[in-house]
Structure 1
């Protein structure tokens, strides 16, 4: 099991109160599943041979009672289900349907037994976690529908699910979000009391992990426990409804960029701010960072913790409500100068997780009411813990996506190595054999063209296979750089011409470099190919060399579509193919690996709609 999956397992209710430090998880492999919204995971009557842990998302269990009424129970982040049936050795007593796109870890009975042997609390968690769904008096009734006899039982279940899902606003507003608000509001700072806001005492949840669905929530409907009158003592009905809708928006996505945008939108609306920024804490670099719009382009900005008002908030955890930022020495007005914006007042609020660790900072600018009040601070306090969990979930999903991408890379490598490499190399050898025969001129030309294409494809396939398997072997020798680049120019001429492009060379002083010419050509080809793709209407590509002390720099320049700053940091990531229809996403990753294996470096400078420079630096031999 990879580190991301282990982290997800450790956060799950299955291991609640267990001593994580004493658990040996090496024998736990687990299966990672991605289930689309509306997809059936298993059906009533299926064999129960595993337990499912929810990393992110929602699963709805649907069951018919003796009167053929459909009942429902929902499981969400960090919860698990399916254990009771497994250990009772009975078939599934319900149908499992995903309400949203959901990430699951599946554990076998052997793996669960292995965990229980190490800590008996896990067995207690299983006992406490689920209702006995074989006898399920507390399953929540769904809206009933009458169906013709011709519909089978499964169709009825799915139809009930659809009817339930169509009243999403009612179910989600009452069934989940109001419960979340109660839990969050119980943790509001005592500082608010100084402003005259009265808080009704609620149950102390400070020592509990925040979950979308607690056990108590599953065992009885939230309306049985929700006391709206209590909440109205410190919040009006309209304000309460506004918070509920805000939390729904915060939890509407799991993609990090969408989550960040939603959180900022929610904070702006709740506080009546003109603008807002959410900074995330990068503990490794001791920085906070965010994505902002500069000159119609999204850019990443970074500040040292302690720098500026947001950095100060990240360092101290202090809530800052500043009526005039111009008289505060901590305010950095450089961004206003760049954008032309005029910041007058500011509310800066720390986002803390359940361990009180600062994970982000919300910075709200220019209250539309003239200044920010304690009421706006109360609103942010009410959503802050939920915001922290949304950020944590988004980061976890992003790590899971990267893990899946690496798995896909390995699978693709196996496919290239075992299914493509051999037939292509065999075809190449047949073409070479034909080329030695005494053939008619027109046939000879066709064979030559075929051999040229096969050589090119074979080189790329071998390079991709070596990259994914990590088996590249360099056969280096000292050679003239200028002579090598001129040979490459002849070799790539036909390819460039088909793209309606032209490569112009400006070679400086010749030097010897210690390289594997065949491998180095792959880097050269990938860079030229990318430059051609950046010139969809055709154009010139410039290749120049310049000596820099004991190194030689090769510069590839095009005046094409360019790369945005926000995307530039991803270009060397394997399988990253944004806006590249005919690209595998491996070219620059392979090029970087080859260049670094030659003790060199490769850097890219680019500006959107201006052009790109790729610079290779190699040691002079």
Structure 2
């Protein structure tokens, strides 16, 4: 049988019975009922009737009040030697707070009637109760003051964060340039949550990747990660927040990244950037919060910031589309004017060239006349193609052609241009077959690619053109030994108005090339490396496809 804790020694230890004689304590024991309360047991609830006084013999309890917002405030912790439940017996009101056992707690309880008789008959107990209540009231006063101070401090922090968010929203809406905007958003996020550095990734839905820009030396490079790869890719795919307080003791962190960069990561916060609809459009990855790990408040701030950031990013993209649309419209108007103004004189030149060829009887003059006719047609058709592209018009004149003849013909003219620029043309034509295509447009595609290759080799070089049957498709490759291009340019090369290393041109050439290849149900790829050159690879369906 478990030994009782209800002894004279334990009662004497209680603050209510200090200096009370043993004879009286023995009498009080007879009034008491010994009770045990397991951890987390609610001994009594707020607003219930109080019928007993409780004397703590062993263990620990807490007295709490719940606010109307559901928050629990601890008024006091009481242990062995304390008592509770006296106020309801004294003022005959309902319980003013909830009492819960923090751990296994043993109590002796006295009924209201016995408690009243005990107070009336013993002045020492009266004084002890009074002193304990006074002490507890002082403690409760201090608890309330501390809680008010804490609430005021939390309110100040919330107001500070709100003001910071307002300032951040103003800042990130200050630019419509997407690259500059991304820098502003990242700098704002780093500053606002006191991180040492960070990366902002945007999601590329079409490619299933996230991408960011970083400075490597003096060059800005583009970083791309497949969804699901690395912490940032994982967060972009799952939408989970990954808050790592100690990077090197967390298996999710890859220390190889630090080894390559020379940077030491202590803590990390990686979380999704969502738009107003909750859709993930990017990822924040913050490193090394000053003063300790990232807090839930940091997570809340970045979550709020991401909504403003997503709106700003959407506005910047819309602005870019509007500018691009306006630029295309302007180019279209210019092309329309050029075609209108030059069609007649160009037609006259073409007729004169045909007459020269017919009447000269001279082989060399005939070749010059053919070249004039060819260049006039090329110029007019190129201008018409720009006009069609700017208007979104797409039409093809598909016919069956012997592909090797088309290639030989176009390379003969290309070689003349390349020779003038000290560029050697190497031909590796291994495809002989028929292909259905718009010969004029495909020829201009090849001219455009060869012209870009020539411009990329200002000091001369070699352009290798090869063809190969790859099973239902003909693969055409243009490989130069030129300057190459950086990754971020390569990824955007088929977008309108993107140029690299050229002082002339509209920036529409490769966009039109891509459109023509798409219209032929073909594919176009690009490989390029700075300082080593570029390969443009085109695949077109053959008659055997």
TM-score category of the 2 structures, normalised to the smaller one: 0.5 to 0.7
Equivalent in the alignment of 1:485: 407
Equivalent in the alignment of 2:186: 264
Q: Does 1:557 align with 2:479?
A: yes
Give 2:282's match in structure 1, choosing from 360, 368, 373.
360
Aligned counterparts of 1:512 and 1:286: Cα–Cα separation in 2? 36
Equivalent in the alignment of 1:602: 524
Which stretches in structure 2 are left out of the alignment for 5+ residues?
1-146
Equivalent in the alignment of 2:512: 590
Equivalent in the alignment of 1:502: 424
Q: 1:365-444 alignment to 2 at 5 Å?
A: 365-373=287-295, 376-377=298-299, 380=302, 383-408=305-330, 410-438=332-360
Give 1:526's match in structure 2, choosing from 422, 425, 448.
448
2:332, 2:386 within 8 Å by CA — same for their partners in 1? no
Equivalent in the alignment of 2:399: 476
SS at match of 1:253: coil
Equivalent in the alignment of 1:618: 540
Q: 1:319-334 alignment to 2 at 5 Å?
A: 319-332=241-254
Quote how far apart the aligned CAs of 1:595 are: 3.2
Aligned counterparts of 2:503 and 2:194: Cα–Cα separation in 1? 42
Quote how far apart the aligned CAs of 1:571 are: 1.9
Quote how far apart the aligned CAs of 1:530 are: 0.8
Q: 1:94-493 alignment to 2 at 5 Å?
A: 198=152, 232=156, 234=158, 246-281=168-203, 288-293=210-215, 296-304=219-227, 308-311=230-233, 313-314=235-236, 319-332=241-254, 335-336=257-258, 339=261, 341-373=263-295, 376-377=298-299, 380=302, 383-408=305-330, 410-438=332-360, 450-451=372-373, 453-465=375-387, 467-468=389-390, 470=393, 472-481=395-404, 483-493=405-415
CA change 1:382–1:517 in 2 (3 A) is: closer
Equivalent in the alignment of 2:80: none
Q: For each residue in 1:519-556, what CA deviation from the matched residue of structure 2 results, as whole angstroms up to 9, or x when unmatched?
A: 32211111100101111222111112223233321211
TM-score scaled by length of structure 2: 0.61
SS at match of 2:483: coil
2:467, 2:475 within 8 Å by CA — same for their partners in 1? yes
Aligned counterparts of 1:298 and 1:394: Cα–Cα separation in 2? 21
1:425, 1:458 within 8 Å by CA — same for their partners in 2? no
Quote how far apart the aligned CAs of 1:445 are: 9.0
Aligned counterparts of 2:240 and 2:151: Cα–Cα separation in 1? 20
SS at match of 2:517: helix
SS at match of 1:569: helix
Q: How many residues align?
A: 394
Aligned counterparts of 1:382 and 1:552: Cα–Cα separation in 2? 52
SS at match of 2:478: strand
Aligned counterparts of 1:293 and 1:598: Cα–Cα separation in 2? 39
2:402, 2:432 within 8 Å by CA — same for their partners in 1? no
Aligned counterparts of 1:475 and 1:375: Cα–Cα separation in 2? 63
Quote how far apart the aligned CAs of 1:506 are: 2.1
CA change 1:340–1:426 in 2 (3 A) is: farther
Quote how far apart the aligned CAs of 1:260 are: 0.6
CA change 1:513–1:451 in 2 (3 A) is: closer
Aligned counterparts of 1:421 and 1:339: Cα–Cα separation in 2? 59
Quote how far apart the aligned CAs of 1:613 are: 0.4
Q: Does 1:575 align with 2:475?
A: no
Quote how far apart the aligned CAs of 1:406 are: 4.4
Aligned counterparts of 1:317 and 1:507: Cα–Cα separation in 2? 51
Q: For each residue in 1:183-215, what CA deviation from the matched residue of structure 2 results, as whole angstroms up to 9, or x when unmatched?
A: xxxxxxxxxx9x967578xxxxxxxxxxxxxxx
SS at match of 2:202: strand
2:225, 2:233 within 8 Å by CA — same for their partners in 1? no
TM-score scaled by length of structure 1: 0.54
Q: For each residue in 1:103-125, what CA deviation from the matched residue of structure 2 results, as whole angstroms up to 9, or x when unmatched?
A: xxxxxxxxxxxxxxxxxxxxxxx
Aligned counterparts of 2:478 and 2:157: Cα–Cα separation in 1? 67
Aligned counterparts of 1:521 and 1:386: Cα–Cα separation in 2? 48
Aligned counterparts of 1:393 and 1:438: Cα–Cα separation in 2? 63
SS at match of 1:518: helix
CA change 1:412–1:331 in 2 (3 A) is: farther
Quote how far apart the aligned CAs of 1:503 are: 1.2
Quote how far apart the aligned CAs of 1:566 are: 1.6
Q: 1:1-40 alignment to 2 at 5 Å?
A: none
Quote how far apart the aligned CAs of 1:599 are: 3.9
CA change 1:577–1:420 in 2 (3 A) is: farther
Aligned counterparts of 1:514 and 1:479: Cα–Cα separation in 2? 9
CA change 1:388–1:612 in 2 (3 A) is: same
CA change 1:487–1:366 in 2 (3 A) is: same
Which stretches in structure 1 are left out of the alignment for 5+ residues?
1-192, 201-230
SS at match of 2:353: helix
Q: For each residue in 1:426-459, what CA deviation from the matched residue of structure 2 results, as whole angstroms up to 9, or x when unmatched?
A: 3322332244344999998986765554344234
